[in-house]
Structure 1
Amino acid sequence: MTPRPPRLTALGTAATLLVGGLLTAVPPARADGGLRTAIPAKAAAGRAAPAITPTPQSVKTRADRITISPTVTLVAGATSDESALQVVESALRRAGAQRVVRGDGPARSGLTVHVGDSGALAPQRIDGPSALPAEGYVLGIGADRVVLAGKDTTGTYYAAQTLRQVLPHAAHPGARVAGLAVRDWPGTPLRGVIEGFYGTPWSHEARLDQLDYYGEHKMNIYVYSPKDDAYLRAKWRDAYPADRLAQVEELADRAVRRHVEFTYALSPGLSVCYSSDADAKALVDKFQTIWDIGVRTFAVPLDDISYTDWNCAEDKAKWGTGGGAAGAAQAYLLNRVNKEFIATHPGAQPLQMVPTEYYDVSASPYKKALSEQLDPNVLVEWTGIGVVAPTMTVAQAQDARTVFGHPILTWDNYPVNDYVTDRLLLGPFSGREKGLPGRLAGITANPMIQPYASKIALYTVADYAWNDAAYDPRTSWGEGLKEYAGDDPRTRRALRAFADVNYSSALNKDQAPELAAEFARYWKSGDAARLASVLDALGAAPGRLRAGLPDRGFVADSGPWLDATGAWATAARTALRMVRAARAGNGAEAWELRQRLPAQVTAAKSFTYTGLDGREVPVLVGDGVLDRFIDAADAEHDRILGVSGRPSVSTDLGTYQSNAAARMLDGDDSTYFWSDGAPAAGDGITVDLGRVRDIGTVTLAMGKPGSTEDYLHQGVLEFSADGRSWQQLTAFSGEPDVTATAPAGTRARYVRARATAGQDNWLVVREFSVPTDDGAVAGGPPAATGSSLRAAFDGDPGTVYRAARAPEAGETLELGIGAARAVPSVTVLQPSGSKGRADIQLRGTDGTWRTVGALDGPYTRVGTAGRTADAVRLAWHTGSAAPRIADVVVGGQG
């Protein structure tokens, strides 16, 4: 085992003061006795300070420089350790030093680097670290030396990590390094990661890699708590097999070398008998086994269990029933562990626990029992308001401290994706108020099932936890992408494009914000060349990342999402070309491209990975942005062509997970739209029929098994021809299924369901059916099974009338278009490869059919000189193949 460096505790260090009952980091004192305010890491004299992560509290440039000499001498001081020395030595070699030697004092020639020696700062006229909190440090570059001076060994190690970023990469000695003074300290005592998700646990190699990453980014805690490790939960009493225990030991050893506190979390709640001496002993014995291999920090998570059903009759006899009884029982067991294990092991860090009520701040008998009975030095982990908290504030942390009566360590469920396993969550850590870290015992972030892909978000977590005052989510995200992508600009651009289409989460509501902005710019400006360049870059990103990303684990983690990204970019490029062709009047080319899109979209949706249970999980990329652009492109093509288009639906409400609004129109009662919040008065859903049409019986089917109360409890059905003036069809109250028949002759383009009162329940809509009457369709040949005559005239080129046989002599397919009106053109769309042959005919006001053209390939458009007609038909030629018609478009239709 590597000797352990001194560690801060989460409670009693010089780094913290209790402010309002909460922990806060103390900035260093000024010479006049006041407090030094953190200043941004900017240049002090016109020269840009180097990029350092996490963002330091204070960076000042100096007028002097140092030179990397061929031989550099390292001098180790009181707060140095081998880990820091190795980081410094490696950084110096990358900067061009040919030899790095260790000495007892400054060399007579060449550069000297003092590691862990605050006295060496005097020639640089830089204050030492004595007034800094634990893990703070000072880095001075100038006056012919480099000095790394930590408040403790971890602080010096962090100074080494900063120096690693500051020094250049050079093949030879002689690089000149600008003078610099960094004064830095953490914003909260504990900063790191809790591997606490459900699903495939990380591999041993991935965990070792993570610990290296944490050390580089000044994170100091890793909580080992994967939900699907049986030896932590279902088999918590059982001893580890020798090989598994050896892996835990290797992790603990690596953590020590990276100045990360390895925390072992044992979760007995599924079967523990709280009052049992044997179970208390089993818990302590398991901890002792882990102590013996070098672990010094322990946790007992009691989350995601029942606290109303006891595991043994003795507990019910001892404590009774209810939340208060559960809190008392848990406090009893944890206090035993605290007394019999933590207190008897010098060097053990404060015990951590996760309460069963971990997701709110409301008072309850359970929390009251924990507050009053649990030993006061136990850290309580809390997820914020909600299991996945969109925001977290100082006031909420104060409330949590008050209601639990203990120091709060956040278990922040970001970027964890075990509840949305079809997504990568690559956006930044957002929605956390400035000032929050200083009010906590610490911050631990629960990462994704994909360890390497988690680093994108974890970079921003580390940045926020270290210096929240300087933190900006988008800026930090951008810097993290640059670091992770390496030095190649093409790889950087590719990673940013890929992360953008995997951006949204409970914390970041906007999906693909940069790509969405490009789509919006295109629809406004019509600059197709710019958007084509953006989509080309997106399509090339997966290949670029596979070829050039330094961290190969990310490529393995993200494989299905990379594949899907390339496929969606292909579909989006086709959609853009389609619109360009349609706008240029190249109808045949546009129609050919439109026919490619369904297969390309299907391909983009086809990528999966295998989950822990063996189930194939489809992946989502850029959902709500890429797919909507393609839908909008289809609609634009159809608008230019004169097709009314298939109905679409929109809503004022947000969407829960992937339960998109389009599911209301898919004809499948088992799928549904599900809002992500309760409707307020005025909120609703609107079906757009594409053009004014005759409507009949409207059906609104709401609620679903398991969510029977998720429907509009009070509302109205309304219709409108223009989307501005609305008429009521019916009012409803307390009905999850609503049906209303419009009076004969009712014409509308829009039909909506609108809440007339607010409610607490969310909204589920299984189907919102608005049948239309677009005129009678008659004739033949009859449609094949699964098709219909109506498909030839339904305003949706995506549906196809497929004849069951070849036409017979004299057979026609006829569509009534209502009252006689001027018809400027008729366009007939056939699927590619169709061989149907027919004359296109119009019926005039005298009842006579007149031929205006003939089918000519997949795309036929004939001008009709504005003939007045009330019907159109296709008169099939003798010997024609069985027809296939995607749509017949009568120009001038409403």
Structure 2
Amino acid sequence: MHRSRTAAATALALALAVAPLLGMAGPPGAAAPARTARAGAAPAISPTPQSVRPRTDRVTLTPAVTVVAGPKADAAAVALVEESLHDAGAERVVRSGQAPAGRQLTVYVDGTEAARALAELGAGSSADLPAEGYALAVGDGRIALSGRDATGTYYAAQSLRQLLPHRDHPGAQIRGTAVRDWPATPLRGVIEGFYGTPWSHRARLDQLDFYGAHKMNLYVYSPKDDAYLREKWRDPYPADRLAEIKELVDRARERHVEFTYALSPGLSVCYSSDADLTALTAKFRTLWDIGVRTFAVPLDDISYTDWNCAADKDRFGTGGGAAGAAQAHLLNRVNREFIATHPGAQPLQMVPTEYYDVKPSPYKKALATQLDKDVLVEWTGVGVIAPTMTVAQARQAREVFGHPILTWDNYPVNDYVTNRLLLGPFNGREKGLPAQLAGITANPMIQPAASKLALHTVADYAWNDTAYDARASWGAAIEELAGGDARTAEALRAFADTGYASSLNPEQAPELAAALAEFGKGGPARKLDAVLRTLQDAPGVLRDRLPDRGFVEDSGPWLDAARAWGVAARTALRLVEATRAGQDAEAWRLRQRVPELVRTATSFVYVDMAGKRVPVLVADGVLDTFVDDALAGYDRALGVAGRPAASTDLSVYQDNAPSRMTDGDDATYFWSGAGPAAGAFVGLDLHAERPLGTVTLTMGKSGSPEDYLHHGVLEYSSDHKTWRRLAAFDGTPEVTVEPPAGTTARYVRARATQGQDNWLVVREFAVAGTDRVTVAGGPPAAPGSALRSAADGDPATVYRAARAAQPGEALEFTPDTPRTARSVTVLRPPGAPAGAARVAVRTGGSWHTLGTLSGALSRFAAGDGAIEGVRLMWRAGAAAPAVNEVILR
């Protein structure tokens, strides 16, 4: 039996009339909000009930259990109770009109007997609770539950399901408990409104099961790929498509979820057209006939300054106010000619074209004054993706739109960042907000099963915001999805932590970041290695053990990337340890291995519906920073600068990360995701204070030559706080500056001095050292390589010869000025043969042999005197030589 229309109407009437002014009031004599269950207490109910009182007794689950259901008890609730009793170990569950004699456990569901038992057990009556509220009690050898309405009874059954254990035999002891519970806001659910790869029919059915289990009562069907909702909104559905929607409607009814059909005619509708109104209501009628009772007309993401027909301009005029009047005209006709003429229809919902702020405007004023007052207006908060949402903002929205507000909360939707999974909790929403609203709907990710972590927390907040704790709810979501298995939960938590960051959760991978920070402050390496090992192993554990196979399927490339980053980070950790211990050969071996591991970690892609391959990100800014710092630490220990670390305060377009402007490849680039505002920057961290040589900034690219800083300055700093100007530039995409002699810095940045609409492309941003080394000789470099790579200050770059050395051939390194050094170190790739070259230095105008190359790392005492040059004299006939770096220190 579907949720009673009376209950739904009562809930919405409360939202329309009371919530915007006073907030939802609790029932008479309501207890204080519940708190998280203590260790050893009864299992936690999710969402957290408004009131939970523990009793001192226990109830034993007997082999046979009798269910006494009232004559009007919700069938789905009774079926769920019986299923939960079987899962708890009952061997036989019997439905009867009365309790049996003896010590057999009896469960009362609605009706007179349930009401009597609830009163005797201290849970009170459900009759004085708000719509969808319920009372539940366990104690004195019995269990009783009852709802304010059918949906309330179903929710009571869901709470009982969580209180009961999962066992394969009877005898479980269930702690005595008295619960009184009700929702903080009438409507709570999900709007499938993202762009990108649509959910499958199977996934939608699974989602409806999930919503029912989490006391979410609304699902808005608005997939952007359904052409019959948008481009072909006037056309009837083919029979097979309509049959699929009916299956969704029926499943929603079984789970006490309102299926809302959202038709989006704004791309082509003529607001004043009788024919279009007829087409719209005819479409609604076909959905009514298969059981839909809630309808919406989203008018977002369209132009309201360009009419679709001349008749609208003639009738309404032009501008935002005219658009609001036109939309109100159409919606009022739908409301009066369809909704009002169909008993049982729920209030009409609409999404305004201006859905993302609370600023007064002619458009909003037209809606406020002309749209029927019982139409619900959907609103995303202040911003399309609102980092925070407050009570004051909700009141402003109610005032400026003049209608009850149903939030369309764009979290955890990731259609604008398809390279990420957003796995953190619902956050940044003020306590007290739900009472100001007609309801809360969340826009989920392209990945349906992976959305469940965040949606679990949305459900918790929307039901009981007073008791909501984002981190605790997130932990409970992980435990639930892991099926109660400790090892699976540990793995899932480690993986979910890598996708924690979003506009609502600005801290990325907080648990992993804390472990890295502890190590950075002197914590033991073995402790950090255990954390990284858990992350490395997590994908395998989840693939083997996670009950929700959809989550594994959704997360595939991110799981692969997480494992690879775990391997890379653990290798980087060993590099740090080897560097600190002075294990030169091992450290160099690890230093060469890490970049390849990073390339693997960054190679995994999500393939979108258009076939585009999007490189995925996990714990970005945390794992990659740790690895970069490990490499930089090794390079500093060698006495070379290494590759600078790039940064920016601009958003990043797709995978065109800041690191691409320091990779030495002019064909790759950083690309911002928006035009730089005044003060926006791209910068380099040189890892240590050092002399500055030539600074080059190469911007723009083929296809977007205007994507450069049109007005900017180059600046440098030693502490990242006090900045000094190096040079200003205007109207040029290529900037080259020679710093004054003696200039030193650790940080260099290019900063916009004016805002601009064009985005920013940086192909290369480089700072040469003043202690340059000229490399000459041979053999000549192979294609893609260069002689200078053997002395460019970056051990990751390699000079590779195009052929074997010929007799007398040598590679010669000449510093700009003679350099005092204690040693000469030659770094080569793994497996480099011993004896490939003799190493000599020139001091005082004469050459002196130091020794012969012995392997991948060869170090020689330099002797006395300033070094004027270094020579590698190759052994003729040896394999084509390769050199990463020659270092004087």
What residue in structure 2 maps to residue 811 of structure 1? 809
Q: Deviations over 1:824-850 (max 9, x none)?
A: 111111112444722212221x21111
Aligned amino acid, residue 742 of structure 1: E
State whether structure 2 residue 80 is matched by structure 1 residue 76: no
Kindly tell me: are residues 528 and 10 of structure 1, through their superposed partners in 2, closer, same or farther at Cα, counting changes over 3 Å? farther
In the TM superposition, residue 433 of structure 1 has moved relative to its aligned partner by 1.0
What residue in structure 1 maps to residue 846 of structure 2? 848
**Residue of 287, 290, 294 corresponding to 1:290:** 287
Kindly tell me: are residues 660 and 866 of structure 1, through their superposed partners in 2, closer, same or farther at Cα, counting changes over 3 Å? farther
- Residues 218 and 462, structure 1, Cα contact 8 Å, conserved in 2: yes
Aligned amino acid, residue 82 of structure 1: A
Q: Distance in 1 between matches of 2:724 and 2:494?
A: 45
What residue in structure 2 maps to residue 443 of structure 1? 440
- Residues 815 and 871, structure 1, Cα contact 8 Å, conserved in 2: yes
- Residues 208 and 257, structure 2, Cα contact 8 Å, conserved in 1: yes
For 1:146-545, list aligned pairs within 5 A: 146-525=143-522, 527-545=524-542
State whether structure 2 residue 106 is matched by structure 1 residue 112: yes
Kindly tell me: are residues 17 and 615 of structure 1, through their superposed partners in 2, closer, same or farther at Cα, counting changes over 3 Å? closer
Kindly tell me: are residues 740 and 600 of structure 1, through their superposed partners in 2, closer, same or farther at Cα, counting changes over 3 Å? closer
What residue in structure 2 maps to residue 27 of structure 1? 26
What residue in structure 2 maps to residue 91 of structure 1? 84
- Residues 222 and 261, structure 1, Cα contact 8 Å, conserved in 2: yes
In the TM superposition, residue 78 of structure 1 has moved relative to its aligned partner by 5.9
Of 634-643 and 180-189, more deviation after overlay is shown by: 634-643
Kindly tell me: are residues 722 and 234 of structure 1, through their superposed partners in 2, closer, same or farther at Cα, counting changes over 3 Å? closer
In the TM superposition, residue 165 of structure 1 has moved relative to its aligned partner by 0.4
- Residues 136 and 156, structure 2, Cα contact 8 Å, conserved in 1: yes
Aligned amino acid, residue 889 of structure 1: I
- Residues 123 and 179, structure 2, Cα contact 8 Å, conserved in 1: no
- Residues 642 and 889, structure 1, Cα contact 8 Å, conserved in 2: yes
Kindly tell me: are residues 139 and 673 of structure 1, through their superposed partners in 2, closer, same or farther at Cα, counting changes over 3 Å? same
Q: Deviations over 1:659-703 (max 9, x none)?
A: 533233345477325378976769773442756245125436489
- Residues 6 and 153, structure 1, Cα contact 8 Å, conserved in 2: no
Aligned amino acid, residue 371 of structure 2: L
Q: Distance in 2 between matches of 1:156 and 1:240?
A: 35
For 1:725-874, list aligned pairs within 5 A: 727-731=724-728, 735=731, 737=733, 739=735, 741-742=737-738, 745-753=741-749, 764=760, 766=762, 767-773=764-770, 774-835=772-833, 837-844=836-843, 846-865=844-863, 867-874=865-872
Kindly tell me: are residues 114 and 694 of structure 1, through their superposed partners in 2, closer, same or farther at Cα, counting changes over 3 Å? closer
Aligned amino acid, residue 839 of structure 1: R
Kindly tell me: are residues 145 and 581 of structure 1, through their superposed partners in 2, closer, same or farther at Cα, counting changes over 3 Å? same
Aligned amino acid, residue 470 of structure 1: A
What residue in structure 1 maps to residue 4 of structure 2? 5
Kindly tell me: are residues 745 and 803 of structure 1, through their superposed partners in 2, closer, same or farther at Cα, counting changes over 3 Å? farther
Kindly tell me: are residues 682 and 506 of structure 1, through their superposed partners in 2, closer, same or farther at Cα, counting changes over 3 Å? closer
- Residues 225 and 232, structure 1, Cα contact 8 Å, conserved in 2: yes
Of 879-888 and 368-377, more deviation after overlay is shown by: 879-888
Q: Distance in 1 between matches of 2:72 and 2:621?
A: 53
Gaps of 5+ in 1: none
Q: Deviations over 1:765-806 (max 9, x none)?
A: 524343445132232233223222111001111111122333
Q: Distance in 1 between matches of 2:679 and 2:613?
A: 40
In the TM superposition, residue 22 of structure 1 has moved relative to its aligned partner by 4.7
Kindly tell me: are residues 355 and 202 of structure 1, through their superposed partners in 2, closer, same or farther at Cα, counting changes over 3 Å? same
**Residue of 47, 56, 67 corresponding to 1:63:** 56
- Residues 804 and 881, structure 2, Cα contact 8 Å, conserved in 1: yes
What residue in structure 2 maps to residue 101 of structure 1? 94
- Residues 661 and 668, structure 2, Cα contact 8 Å, conserved in 1: no
What residue in structure 2 maps to residue 40 of structure 1? 35
Of 288-297 and 613-622, more deviation after overlay is shown by: 613-622
Of 58-67 and 750-759, more deviation after overlay is shown by: 750-759
In the TM superposition, residue 587 of structure 1 has moved relative to its aligned partner by 1.8
- Residues 327 and 367, structure 1, Cα contact 8 Å, conserved in 2: yes
SS of residue matched to 2:866:
strand
- Residues 122 and 178, structure 2, Cα contact 8 Å, conserved in 1: no
Q: Distance in 2 between matches of 1:360 and 1:506?
A: 16
Aligned amino acid, residue 495 of structure 1: L
State whether structure 2 residue 632 is matched by structure 1 residue 644: no
Q: Distance in 1 between matches of 2:11 and 2:497?
A: 42
Kindly tell me: are residues 760 and 409 of structure 1, through their superposed partners in 2, closer, same or farther at Cα, counting changes over 3 Å? farther
- Residues 15 and 437, structure 2, Cα contact 8 Å, conserved in 1: no
SS of residue matched to 2:516:
helix
SS of residue matched to 2:209:
helix
In the TM superposition, residue 712 of structure 1 has moved relative to its aligned partner by 7.9
Of 718-727 and 659-668, more deviation after overlay is shown by: 718-727
SS of residue matched to 1:546:
helix
- Residues 358 and 383, structure 1, Cα contact 8 Å, conserved in 2: yes
Q: Distance in 1 between matches of 2:552 and 2:499?
A: 14
In the TM superposition, residue 29 of structure 1 has moved relative to its aligned partner by 1.3
Kindly tell me: are residues 68 and 28 of structure 1, through their superposed partners in 2, closer, same or farther at Cα, counting changes over 3 Å? same
- Residues 59 and 182, structure 1, Cα contact 8 Å, conserved in 2: yes
Q: Distance in 2 between matches of 1:722 and 1:247?
A: 62
In the TM superposition, residue 616 of structure 1 has moved relative to its aligned partner by 2.6
TM-score by length of structure 1 reads 0.93
Q: Distance in 2 between matches of 1:47 and 1:805?
A: 73
Q: Distance in 2 between matches of 1:798 and 1:126?
A: 69
Q: Distance in 1 between matches of 2:411 and 2:732?
A: 35
- Residues 708 and 733, structure 2, Cα contact 8 Å, conserved in 1: no
Q: Deviations over 1:642-670 (max 9, x none)?
A: 22212223346676765533233345477
Q: Distance in 2 between matches of 1:23 and 1:448?
A: 34
Of 20-29 and 411-420, more deviation after overlay is shown by: 20-29
SS of residue matched to 2:447:
coil
In the TM superposition, residue 568 of structure 1 has moved relative to its aligned partner by 1.7
Gaps of 5+ in 2: none
| Root mean square deviation, CA, Å | 2.8
Q: Deviations over 1:529-553 (max 9, x none)?
A: 1122222211111111111111111
Kindly tell me: are residues 179 and 301 of structure 1, through their superposed partners in 2, closer, same or farther at Cα, counting changes over 3 Å? same
- Residues 699 and 708, structure 2, Cα contact 8 Å, conserved in 1: no
In the TM superposition, residue 617 of structure 1 has moved relative to its aligned partner by 2.8
Q: Distance in 2 between matches of 1:726 and 1:229?
A: 53
